[in-house]
């Protein structure tokens, strides 16, 4: 990866298109600098956060910004809704298509996490891929699982069977996701928890997925695994609390992009 002192070309282009602000660009550059320092000091351990490839295109770059929360979801969605008031013709279409493709990519990763954790089978994954929303953000695997229930890709009896199977032999991350989806399904409509917990949930999911990839590459000794296991109950308890509390605010009735909420029905196309 080139030195972050030279701005990543795609980051510069995304800024030029007006999809991120100067502050968000500075935050992204700082994040790349941190990743570079981590690589230098932890070459053997690997990097525990998503990385932006040196040759990443505009879609990959925008998706990376969303996935790492360097580009706040609410700000991005509002920015895209405002595009028709700022641009027209080909310029508007270019920006809208880029935003839709980035949303689909982030949503696809949320679906893929469900498959990687053995929560859905290949047919369900492919069906979800075929119906990826391009007008709203599935902000986490929990939201992706709830969206599959809403679309009928996963039936209520299948979800109950999944809950039982996950409790018995699921991974830690799998149990967190399924429990979070179940808790959201039974949350009263008037419950409005603070919105700062969603980034915490996203961080838990991102670190857990990245940690699995690192662990699979390094294949540590059993003694090391036993030592790591000491911290898992606390991680699961904190993450489960974040899942139960997380909720994204809804969008207005005339907006082109919305965020999936608990028990909410996506707007008609």
Tens of pLDDT, residues 22-34: 999 999 999 999 8
- Alpha-carbon gap, residue 111 to 128, rounded angstroms: 7
Position 88 scores a pLDDT of 93
**Residues 6 or more apart whose Cβ sits within 8 Å of residue 263:** 184, 185, 187, 189
106 touches 71 (CB < 8 A): no
- Residue 80 clears pLDDT 60, i.e. is over it: yes
User: b/e map of 211-232 (b: 16 or more CB within 10 Å)?
Assistant: eeeeeeeeeeeeeeeeeeeeee
- The H or E element that residue 258 is part of is strand 258-259
Q: How many CA atoms lie within 13 A of 29 on its CB side?
A: 18
- The H or E element that residue 259 is part of is strand 258-259
Q: Where are the alpha helices (DSSP H) in the chain?
A: 9-16, 22-41, 58-67, 73-81, 83-86, 89-116, 122-130, 141-151, 156-169, 172-185, 197-218, 222-228, 232-245
- Alpha-carbon gap, residue 258 to 59, rounded angstroms: 19
Position 47 scores a pLDDT of 62
C-alpha 93: how far from chain center:
25
Residues 108-156 pLDDT 10s: 999 999 999 999 999 999 999 999 887 788 878 999 999 999 999 999 9
- Residue 201 clears pLDDT 70, i.e. is over it: no
Longest dimension (CA), the chain: 61
DSSP 106: H
Question: What average pLDDT is seen over the chain?
Answer: 76
Position 56 scores a pLDDT of 92
Residue corresponding to tokens 């089978």? 121
pTM for the full predicted model:
0.63
- Alpha-carbon gap, residue 229 to 239, rounded angstroms: 15
If pLDDT is split at 50, 70 and 90, which confidence band does 237 have? low
Record the tokens describing residue 191, joined without a space.
């419950």
Task: Please compute the mean of the pLDDT values over residues 85-114 and round it to a whole number.
Answer: 94
Task: Please compute the mean of the pLDDT values over residues 174-193 and round it to a whole number.
Answer: 69
Phi, psi of 221 (to 5 degrees): -70, 155
Position 115 scores a pLDDT of 95
- Residue 263 clears pLDDT 50, i.e. is over it: no
Task: Please compute the mean of the pLDDT values over residues 49-65 and round it to a whole number.
Answer: 90
């Amino acid at each position: 990866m080139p030195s972050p002192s030279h701005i990543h070309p795609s980051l510069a282009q995304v800024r030029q298109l007006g999809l991120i602000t100067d502050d968000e660009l500075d935050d992204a550059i700082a994040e790349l600098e941190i990743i570079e320092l981590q690589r230098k000091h932890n070459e053997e351990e690997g990097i525990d956060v998503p990385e932006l490839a040196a040759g990443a295109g505009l879609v990959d770059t925008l998706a990376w910004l969303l996935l790492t929360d360097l580009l706040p979801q609410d700000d991005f969605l509002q920015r895209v809704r405002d595009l028709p008031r700022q641009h027209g013709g080909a310029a508007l279409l270019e920006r809208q298509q880029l935003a839709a493709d980035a949303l689909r990519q982030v949503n696809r990763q949320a679906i893929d996490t469900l498959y990687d954790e053995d929560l859905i089978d290949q047919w369900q994954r492919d069906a979800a891929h075929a119906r990826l929303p391009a007008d709203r953000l599935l902000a986490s695997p929990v939201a992706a699982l709830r969206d599959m229930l809403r679309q009928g890709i996963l039936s209520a009896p299948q979800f109950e069977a999944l809950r039982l199977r996950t409790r018995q032999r699921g991974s830690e991350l799998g149990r967190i996701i399924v429990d979070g989806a179940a808790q959201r399904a039974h949350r009263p409509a008037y419950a409005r928890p603070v919105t700062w917990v969603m980034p915490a949930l996203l961080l838990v999911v991102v670190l857990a997925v990245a940690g699995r990839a690192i662990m699979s590459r390094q294949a540590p000794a059993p003694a090391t695994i036993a030592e790591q296991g000491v911290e898992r109950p606390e991680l699961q308890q904190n993450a489960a609390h974040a899942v139960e509390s997380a909720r994204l605010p809804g969008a207005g009735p005339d907006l082109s992009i919305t965020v999936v909420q608990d028990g909410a029905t996506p707007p008609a196309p």
